[in-house]
Structure formats: C-alpha cells, structure tokens
C-alpha cells in the first residue's frame, strides 16, 4: 500500500490516516469513489473517471469538494509522493462528518476526501492476462442504482468471496430476469459464434465502466460488429470468447464460466487483439496526462499540508 495518504487537505502517513467515527461514508456508505489505473506515472483514462465522479456526486447530491484541476493535482501529488510508476489511485468522497441521522446534514457540512495509492505488478498482470480468469455466476443482490459508483459494496464483496472459495477470480451477477448484469468489479463481454461483440448497454442496471467506454471506441475503430444488449448465462457459455474490463485489469479473458470452458479454454484472438490495442492507445496518451510543473503549487493552494 501507499506510504502516504491524503485526508482532507493533509498528506499523512498511511498508517495514521483516519476519518471521524461519524463520517457518513462510515455510517451510511454515503460516499462515492473512483479508481484510476496508473501507468508510467500517469492516470489512465483520466477524463472519463473525472466525468463519472462528477456524475456520481450529482446523483447523490454531494457537492464537489474542490475544482477538478485542483483535485487532479492532488492525485498527481499522491503519485509523486508514493513514487508510483504503475498501480492504482483510489479516491473516496463522502458527504462528510455529521451527527448520525438518516436525513442529509446541513449543506455547510464539508465533504470528506481521502486518497490512497497502491503499487502494481505489471508482470503479474500480464501473466494473469495470458492465463485468463475463471468466473462463476451468482444472483445479483445489489441495489437498483448500480450506475452510481458508491462505496456500498457488501453484495459485491460477498460475491467476490464466493468466487474465491470456488477457485474462480470473478463472479458474473445475474438478474431476476436471467440476464447477466456485470461482474463484482468489472463489465462483462462475450463474442458470439457469429462474430458479434456483446456487452450490456449502459443503464441503471450496471456501472458504465470507463474502460468499457474506451474499449467500445477501440472496437469501433477495429470495425467490429457491436451489440449493446443483455445476454444470458447460456449465451455466455456458448460464446466463442468472453472477457471482462475494468480500470484495474484493463481487458482480461474469461476462460471458464461455472466450470465450463469458453471457446478453447484459453484467451482467444479477439481478447488478445483488443487488449493490445487498448493498452497501446492508453500508452500513447500517457505523456499528455502527466502533470505540468505547476501541479505541486496548485496542490499547495488547495491548502494541502505536509503530514
């Protein structure tokens, strides 16, 4: 984990980072979050994550704690202080600290902002992509507004644990209508036998992944036939390929579902091609997303002090 965390304007030792016991993120899961993948010291798909963060805050009526440019500088400062070349940056914004009451507190209550950093292992990630992952299916027990990236993730955690205990790496969640919604921490994709690339359309039923949106653009540029629609477990098992997308995994092939091999039981040619194209495109944008020299100054102007 990171050596340094950010909590409400202060860069502090990770071991000492804390929020008040009556923070609404702690007591009501009244908070949203975003996760940026960091590659070569830059935030991947940066604008997409900031846009989704703003939408999540609006949907929950949590005010933005600072200007986007200032927040970006805080994130880059976290990358710098933690000497993070490859890994993840986690941001969480809660409605803030207030006396425990289900109703919203006064609008004057300041949102709580925390940021942590986590180092990645590119070699391990590539090995995982080369091997593919196993998936199980489980009922989708989450609330109806999955399009908002909230910290209320207990059903996701329970499903992920069930997958781990079954020897799998992810669970695909299935609605009462029999259609797959998404994974516990990823969007779900299949390639049908007749060559259609299928992923569920964006709606309140799924989180519209930033990596999902980027990959849709890559797929269009590759000239693929794309169908944004629901698909069943049976259709997924009959697919020639399947994969997941997320900020932490980019694109990773699914080699089995509920113990049944998908395709040849190994990452297929389309998954490999799209992963390569996505990562190549992201790498070409890395330099443009690195902070300007003024970033530390702007971060200081956000009243961030050294812990």
CA distance 220 to 91: 31
Q: Are 212 and 187 in contact (CB under 8 A)?
A: yes
Indicate if 115 and 16 belong to the same structural domain: yes
Which one from 39, 110, 118, 149 is the annotated catalytic residue? 149
Q: Which of 61, 87, 120 is the last residue in one of the domains?
A: 120
Give the domain range for residue 235: 125-267
pTM for this predicted structure: 0.91
Whether 272 is a known active-site residue: answer no
Task: For residues 83 and 136, state if they share a domain.
Answer: no
* DSSP track, 181-249: EEESSSEEEEE-TTSEEEEPPSSTTS---HHHHHHHHHHHHTT-EEEES--BHHHHHT-SEEEEEETTT
Domain check: are 258 and 151 in the same one?
Answer: yes
> What CATH number is attached to the domain comprising 247?
3.20.10.10
Q: Is residue 223 part of a domain?
A: yes
Asked whether residue 113 falls in the same domain as residue 134, the answer is no
Q: Which residues have a Cβ under 8 Å from the Cβ of 95 and sit 6 or more positions away? A: 24, 25, 30, 31, 60, 62, 104, 105, 109, 111, 112
Q: Helix, strand, or coil here: 150? A: strand
In a domain, 16, yes or no: yes
pLDDT of residue 293: 40
User: In sequence order, what are the beta bridge partners of 225?
Assistant: 196
What's 29's domain CATH number?
3.30.470.10
pLDDT tens string for the chain (307 positions)? 569 999 999 999 999 999 999 999 999 999 999 999 999 999 999 999 999 999 999 999 999 999 999 999 999 999 999 999 999 999 999 999 999 999 999 999 999 999 999 999 999 999 999 999 999 999 999 999 999 999 999 999 999 999 999 999 999 999 999 999 999 999 999 999 999 999 999 999 999 999 999 999 999 999 999 999 999 999 999 999 999 999 999 999 999 999 999 999 999 999 999 999 999 887 666 645 555 444 444 445 444 443 3
Measure the CA–CA gap between 158 and 94, rounded to whole angstroms. Answer: 23
Q: Do 253 and 189 lie in a common domain?
A: yes
Residues 135 and 223 grouped into a single domain = yes
Which of the listed residues 87, 120, 153 is the one where a domain comes to its end? 120
Q: What is the DSSP letter of 16?
A: G
For residue 28, give the H/E element and its range.
Answer: helix 24-28
For residues 153 and 241, membership in a common domain is answered with yes
**Does the residue 275 lie in any domain?**
no
The count of domains in the chain is 2
pLDDT value at residue 284: 61
Q: Which class for 175: exposed (0-12), middle (13-18), buried (19 or more C-beta within 10 A)?
A: middle
Report the pLDDT value the prediction gives residue 173, as an integer from 0 to 100.
98
């Amino acid at each position: 984990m990171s050596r340094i965390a950010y909590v409400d304007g202060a860069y502090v030792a990770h071991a000492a980072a804390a929020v008040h016991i009556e923070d609404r993120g702690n007591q009501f899961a009244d908070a949203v979050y975003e996760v940026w993948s960091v590659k070569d010291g830059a935030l991947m798909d940066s604008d997409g994550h900031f846009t989704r963060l703003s939408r999540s805050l609006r949907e929950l009526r949590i005010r933005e704690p600072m200007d986007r440019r200032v927040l970006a500088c805080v994130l880059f400062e976290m990358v710098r202080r933690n000497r993070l070349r490859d890994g993840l940056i986690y941001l969480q914004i809660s409605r803030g600290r207030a006396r425990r009451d289900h109703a919203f507190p006064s609008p004057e209550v300041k949102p709580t902002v925390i940021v942590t950093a986590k180092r990645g292992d590119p070699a391990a990630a590539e090995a995982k992509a080369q091997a593919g992952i196993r998936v199980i299916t489980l009922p989708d027990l989450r609330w109806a507004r999955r399009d908002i990236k909230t910290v209320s993730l207990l059903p996701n955690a329970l499903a992920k644990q069930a997958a781990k205990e079954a020897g799998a790496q992810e669970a695909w969640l299935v609605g009462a209508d029999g259609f797959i919604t998404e994974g516990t921490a990823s969007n779900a994709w299949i390639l049908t036998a007749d060559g259609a690339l299928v992923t569920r359309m964006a709606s309140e039923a799924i989180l519209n992944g930033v990596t999902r949106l980027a990959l849709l653009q890559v797929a269009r540029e590759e000239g693929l036939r794309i169908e944004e629609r629901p698909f069943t477990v049976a259709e997924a098992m009959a697919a020639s390929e399947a994969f997941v997308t997320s900020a932490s995994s980019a694109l990773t092939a699914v080699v089995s579902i509920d113990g049944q091999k998908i395709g040849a039981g190994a990452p297929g040619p389309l998954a490999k091609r799209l992963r390569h194209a996505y990562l190549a495109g992201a790498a070409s944008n890395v330099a443009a997303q690195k902070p300007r020299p003024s970033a530390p100054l702007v971060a200081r102007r956000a009243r961030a002090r050294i812990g």
